[in-house]
Amino acid sequence: MSDRLLLCSNRLKLFADATVGMDAAVKSGFISKVWIDDANTRSASRRLSVFSSQKSSCMSVSFGRPHVDQQSQEMKVSYIKSAAHSVGMSTYAETAIGSYPHAADEKIGVLLLNLGGPESLVDVQPFLFNLFADPDIIRLPRLFQFLQKPLAQLISVLRAAKSREGYAAIGGGSPLRRITYEQAHALKCALEAKEISAIVYVAMRYWYPFTDEALQQIKRDKITRLVVLPLYPQFSISTTGSSVRVLQNAFREDAYLSQLPVSIIQSWYWRPGYIKSMADLIQKELESFSKPEEAIIFFSAHGVPVSYVEEAGDPYKDQMEDCIALIMLELKSRGVFNDHILAYQSRVGPVQWLKPYTDEALVELGQKGVKSLVAVPVSFVSEHIETLEEIDMEYRELAIESGIENWARAPTLNCTSSFIIDLADAVVEALPSATAMSTASSKSKDADQDPINYFIKMLFGSILAFALLFFPKLITAFKNRLLI
């Protein structure tokens, strides 16, 4: 077993998802178990959080390698079960995924979490404001956190024109809401096929329908058991972490929601249905080339600042690398042995992001004489601006200019049936572990809720943001403090 496969296997054994941003969720009851693995800690802040909703489905992960004997596979599964048992997690066999025995006694809800996107050019600037106002996107020191909204306003105004050009190029708005609702409908049908009657809701982080809207509908529908399913395969503080933080705050402050049994599927990049569905898409694109074996499989993932990983303990990079390893193992089991590369796209701002960068990697491949390439958007399961404009237009043009003659792009999963069925399995597995939050609503009020303090901070922040806009030298002083 290669070092990479062994590392991947070890991570899967632990169901390891590290995030400092989840501390509040742990305390509030969203997470039922926390396991600190001292032997694999990159920094003092690194935590391995085991979500109750991840109970067992990695029992069915298939590494797909024909030369791995049955005894090795059985030992691996045995080790995983032992690790799960040591933290009080029950496990389920693959044959037990059929249905949830108490479904008839419950009113089940599934909450899909996604980013959201502007549906018209008019929506672009307010959407960007919501994005940059998120403290998990721009991480300011505590002393400067009162500048969050003024800076978000400044950045959204400065970036709006360029972003509008991108959305105009793909039809004038993001298709993300439409596709997410299609996925919600498909998931509902897949659950019904498993004898689970559920209402599937959509909650967007930065645009309509916002999380609060979905939660209000959940209350009106009197849901008695809820599964939260982020549509991000890999966990990151800036995606799943941010969305769950919003949920945690809402549940703490609401008497009904705080008692609602909830199970969160934190990440699912290792699930067999996802891995096989991705391999299917890649294999189909490879077959479009006259010489498929010569094509490079180019995985492009959304990047995050390096500080998220090294300082905040974000597991995103590790999970992404594990995901690619599993996809390539699945392809190798089918006789596909193409070379591959993982790069990161969509970096902005002055700070260092995860490398290699997609644009630089494409140029380098062209210089090395690569002629055929299949681009694979691996951190996205829905088409949106980063696939339709950034990859299909910007990166394709760059690749051709760099000497790559044959370009193909694997589509995102969208409503691929094998993918949706696997998500339905994940929901069924998560249902038994739902746990009500027990934290009572806080009576205390944050200083920002004081209208006088809030007005003073916003006034001062607006003045400073205005100064930054008209005095560019001041922006330089803030560059090293902004993680955009």
CATH of the domain at 358: 3.40.50.1400
Question: Which residue, 146, 130, 140, is CA-closest to 460?
Answer: 146
Residues 402 and 453 in one domain: no
When comparing pLDDT for 49 and 414, which is higher? 414
Average pLDDT over residues 358-362: 98
Query: pLDDT value at position 61?
Result: 25
Check pLDDT > 70 for residue 22.
no
Is residue 298 one of the residues assigned to a domain? yes
Average pLDDT over residues 415-439: 91
Residues 282 and 395 in one domain: yes
Torsion of CA 158, 160, 162, 167, to 10 degrees: 170
Is residue 349 one of the residues assigned to a domain? yes
Report the alpha-carbon distance of residue 430 to residue 442 in Å, rounded: 28
Tens of pLDDT, residue by residue over 303-350, are 999 999 999 999 999 999 999 999 999 999 999 999 999 999 988 777
Residues 458 and 381 in one domain: no
Query: pLDDT value at position 460?
Result: 54
Where is average pLDDT lowest: 47-56, 241-250, 283-292, 293-302?
47-56
Q: Which domain holds residue 299?
A: 272-409
Structure-block tokens of residue 127: 């959407």
Query: pLDDT value at position 163?
Result: 96
Residues 400 and 286 in one domain: yes
Is residue 339 one of the residues assigned to a domain? yes
Residues 290 and 371 in one domain: yes
Q: Residue 392, CB half-sphere, CA atoms under 13 Å: how many? A: 13
Check pLDDT > 90 for residue 245.
yes
Check pLDDT > 90 for residue 384.
yes
Check pLDDT > 70 for residue 482.
no
Residues 283 and 353 in one domain: yes
- Which helix (H) or strand (E) element contains residue 407? strand 406-409
Question: Which residue, 84, 85, 59, is CA-closest to 74?
Answer: 59
Tens of pLDDT, residue by residue over 123-152, are 999 999 999 988 888 878 878 888 889 988
Is residue 60 one of the residues assigned to a domain? no
Residues 278 and 403 in one domain: yes
Is residue 375 one of the residues assigned to a domain? yes
Is residue 189 one of the residues assigned to a domain? no
Residues 402 and 450 in one domain: no
**Beta bridge mates, 436:** 261
Residues 278 and 383 in one domain: yes
Is residue 376 one of the residues assigned to a domain? yes
pTM value is 0.74
Domain count, the chain: 2
Is residue 151 one of the residues assigned to a domain? yes
Q: Final residue of a domain: which of 384, 409, 434? A: 409
Residues 450 and 394 in one domain: no
Query: pLDDT value at position 98?
Result: 54
Residues 312 and 359 in one domain: yes
Calculate the average pLDDT of the chain.
78
Beta pairing, strands 261-264 & 225-230: parallel
Residues 307 and 374 in one domain: yes
Query: pLDDT value at position 63?
Result: 25
When comparing pLDDT for 439 and 162, which is higher? 162
Query: pLDDT value at position 33?
Result: 27
